[in-house]
Amino acid sequence: MTPIKPIQIGLINITRKRVATWQTHNVQLASFNVASLRVTWFRSATLLGCLLTAASHLEKAFVGCEGRIVTMNGAVYGRTFSSSPKRRRRRSVMSFEMVRLDRGSSEPLYQQLYRQIREELESGSFDSSASRVPSSRVLATTLGISRPTVNQAYSKLLVEGYFQTRKRSGIFVTDHLPATFLKAARPAMTARTEHFPRVARRVTRMTDFRSGRQLDVGIGGPPSVTLVAGLPAVDEFPIAVWERLRAQVLAKKGAHLLRYASSRGEIELRKAIAAYLCDFRGANCHPDQVVVVGGMQQAMLACALALINEGDVAWIEDPVFHQARNVLAFVGAKTSPRPIDREGLVIGKCSRRNSPKLILVTPSHQFPLGVTMSLKRRKSLIEFAESGDGYILEDDYDSEFRFDGPPLPCLQGLDNAGRVIYCGTMSKILYPSLRLGFLVAPPQLVDTLVKVRAVMDQHSPAIDQATLARFITEGFFLSHVKRIRELYAQRRVFFIEQFQKWLGDYFDLEVTPAGLHFVAWLRRGEDLPLFMRAREQTGVWSRPLSFFCIKALLDPAFVFGFAAWPQAQIEQGLAKLASAVKQLKQRGAGNGSSSRIHAFSPATSPYWPPTAVPIN
């Protein structure tokens, strides 16, 4: 072993009176814990013996302390510190900012201060987590009065039981307030006739009927095995990698990321998105055409606000994601639901007066039916939009998650007329609460969309944008997509097997080559009420297909998601649902239901692809 140069270390010499003194010794290298006296590589055996002799004294005198080597003036010294330092509990402090003192009043200042503080406490408007009151010195400085005046007011409040002192902590509002609190005069509450508030028509036109506690959870519902479509596996996201990249961009750019950012989006992120779309989605775009937005919902709203006047016609797929329908209703568009056939959205014929100003489509994987728009229909749709001076909003939904064959190029890559606005989001690929998405607009619309986006919320968080740019450019994004696609493929196969095992007697499962959900068609319409009640009992909130329909008349079916849950939870959810339905059938809970069953079926409807296959 190569000799190590001796250094000096200060050691603590504990006498019988437990007085610590410093002694300097030459040692080879020392690293020790005072409690256990772990000592390594000592040159001096005498020193080691001395330390062992003092072990009992050290252990008693410095329980919970460790020796640490520090350097001072070229020498190394030992110091002690507590291994479990006591942290002072932090509390919010009441500010009493609403206190107003009148120096011209005949009422003494201390009495005014006392009265106003007591009234604030009696009103019950203070936050219980902010029960500590400011020190007399701080409050005197804030109000511009003398400290004895504050002390005099505090003394009265202490005597009357509104305040209490805690040793070495300060003055706090009493936990149990005096009896006068209960007798405090309160303004009389006059009975009011309940009425609905006056709101704008754009709000009442929406189809979102949630209220109260229902608005406390996200659109995916509570965090349980709900089997709701559209939820990704957030537990598989590489948080450690993301946090490391986040720390790196903060260290490199620092305060720059804390200022207001561009409404277009960070240039590094726009470059990374443009490169990805050109390479992997067949898009034809430049970073200057990319606008970073706060997710798909904001992308749709920005385009609708920029291109639709109230009363303008807008086309939308039917059935459709319900929030897309709400966007068009919010801006006052005259929504025209278009049916879906085996090639995608049905174009049909319309007069120039009723030609749409905006067409919302999901050509890669139509939600919820799962149809992929054919190449012929894509070209026809672009020609139709150009002839009517309209625009197409392409939601590239689930394009990364195709499990059978290569993905088709995006619609924007086929557009030579500047009629397609391409939209994407990171919600399904990374995690929904990131709230980052993007638009790729024709050059003539970019500035308009940036202005509309700026009105909404100026820009998305710059720190998240910079982190995502690094995540993409350093290869983590593609690596994550590849890994998560393999995981979803496994869960997809497992879901099909378990669905046949538990619910195969009730449904025909629609298997499409892409996407993170399935449509399951009920074999017997009379079972629909049973499953609606079973959903409520089990919390497996797979939505009925009719939830997404506007005018479409289709057989009863349910939309099941599978991506967000591991295999054990998928089996648990399906088994729970099947068990609930079985129990309801035994009790005859579904008999006599007036639930409406449409006469159209996948096999007979001219607007439905005949791909629903029983899984036997």
What pLDDT shows up at residue 478? 96
Mean pLDDT of 68-90: 44
Q: What percent of the chain has pLDDT over 90?
A: 62
Mean residue pLDDT of the chain comes to 82
SS3 488: helix
Phi-psi region of 398 (alpha: psi -120 to 50; beta: other; left: phi over 0): left
SS3 261: coil
Is the pLDDT confidence value at 219 over 90?
no
Residue 77: enclosing H or E segment and its boundaries?
strand 75-82
Report the C-alpha gap between 346 and 366 in whole angstroms: 13
What φ, ψ does residue 198 adopt, rounded to 5°?
A: -80, 120
Is the pLDDT confidence value at 393 over 60?
yes
SS3 466: helix
The answer to whether 378 touches 411, Cβ cutoff 8 Å, is: yes
Mean pLDDT of 535-543: 92
Q: What would you report as the CA-atom Rg of the chain, rounded to the nearest whole angstrom? A: 35
What pLDDT shows up at residue 125? 62
Nearest in space to 266 (alpha carbons), one of 242, 243, 291: 291
What residue type is 380 in one-letter code? S
Nearest in space to 264 (alpha carbons), one of 109, 446, 456, 392: 446
What pLDDT shows up at residue 129? 55
213 vs 558, higher pLDDT: 558
Report the C-alpha gap between 362 and 366 in whole angstroms: 5
When pLDDT is cut at 50, 70 and 90, the band that residue 174 belongs to is confident
459: which residues sit within 8 A by CB, 6+ positions away? 260, 261, 262, 263, 265, 292, 453
When pLDDT is cut at 50, 70 and 90, the band that residue 128 belongs to is low
Is the pLDDT confidence value at 495 over 70?
yes
Nearest in space to 564 (alpha carbons), one of 242, 296, 238, 227: 227
Mean pLDDT of 295-310: 96
For residue 187, CA distances in Å to 123, 125, 285, 609 come to 10, 14, 64, 66
Choice among 268-272, 404-408, 497-501 with the minimum mean pLDDT: 404-408
Q: Which two tokens stand for residue 108?
A: 């003494």
What pLDDT shows up at residue 20? 43
What φ, ψ does residue 493 adopt, rounded to 5°?
A: -65, -40
477: which residues sit within 8 A by CB, 6+ positions away? 276, 429, 471
SS3 585: helix
Q: Which two tokens stand for residue 601?
A: 């079926």
Burial of 30 per CB tally in 10 Å (0-12, 13-18, 19+): buried
Q: Which two tokens stand for residue 72?
A: 């001072």
Residue 23: enclosing H or E segment and its boundaries?
strand 20-27
When pLDDT is cut at 50, 70 and 90, the band that residue 15 belongs to is very low
SS3 422: strand
Residue 249: enclosing H or E segment and its boundaries?
helix 239-253
Nearest in space to 281 (alpha carbons), one of 413, 375, 372, 405: 413
The answer to whether 506 touches 542, Cβ cutoff 8 Å, is: no
Per-residue H/E/C for 143-184: HCCCHHHHHHHHHHHHHCCCEEEECCCEEEECCCCCHHHCCC
Q: Give first-to-last CA distance, the chain, whole Å.
A: 72
When pLDDT is cut at 50, 70 and 90, the band that residue 92 belongs to is low
133: which residues sit within 8 A by CB, 6+ positions away? 93, 94, 96, 139, 154, 163, 170, 171, 172, 173
What pLDDT shows up at residue 6? 43
Q: Which two tokens stand for residue 539?
A: 């919390």
479 vs 596, higher pLDDT: 479
The answer to whether 456 touches 299, Cβ cutoff 8 Å, is: no
What φ, ψ does residue 184 adopt, rounded to 5°?
A: -60, 135
Mean pLDDT of 225-249: 95
The answer to whether 518 touches 510, Cβ cutoff 8 Å, is: yes
Name beta bridge partners: 393.
360, 421
The answer to whether 451 touches 423, Cβ cutoff 8 Å, is: no
Per-residue H/E/C for 365-421: CCCCCCCCCCHHHHHHHHHHHHHCCCEEEEECCCCCCECCCCCCCCHHHHCCCCCEE
- Widest CA span of the chain, in angstroms? 104
What pLDDT shows up at residue 593? 40
Q: Which two tokens stand for residue 557?
A: 């079916």
For residue 133, CA distances in Å to 92, 153, 162, 312 come to 9, 13, 11, 59
What pLDDT shows up at residue 275? 96
575: which residues sit within 8 A by CB, 6+ positions away? 502
Report the C-alpha gap between 10 and 390 in whole angstroms: 82
Q: Which two tokens stand for residue 141?
A: 């400085």
What is the pTM for the complete model shown? 0.74
Report the C-alpha gap between 568 and 28 in whole angstroms: 57
Is the pLDDT confidence value at 510 over 80?
yes
Is the pLDDT confidence value at 462 over 80?
yes
Question: What domains appear along the chain, each with residue ranges and CATH number?
Answer: 7-82 (no CATH), 109-181 (1.10.10.10), 259-459 (3.40.640.10)
The answer to whether 586 touches 320, Cβ cutoff 8 Å, is: no
Q: What percent of the chain has pLDDT over 70?
A: 76
The answer to whether 527 touches 506, Cβ cutoff 8 Å, is: yes
SS3 437: strand
Mean pLDDT of 593-615: 36
**In the block, residue with structure tokens 């100003």:** 357
Is the pLDDT confidence value at 116 over 70?
yes
Is the pLDDT confidence value at 56 over 70?
no
Report the C-alpha gap between 431 and 235 in whole angstroms: 9
Mean pLDDT of 89-107: 81
Report the C-alpha gap between 152 and 316 in whole angstroms: 71
When pLDDT is cut at 50, 70 and 90, the band that residue 13 belongs to is very low
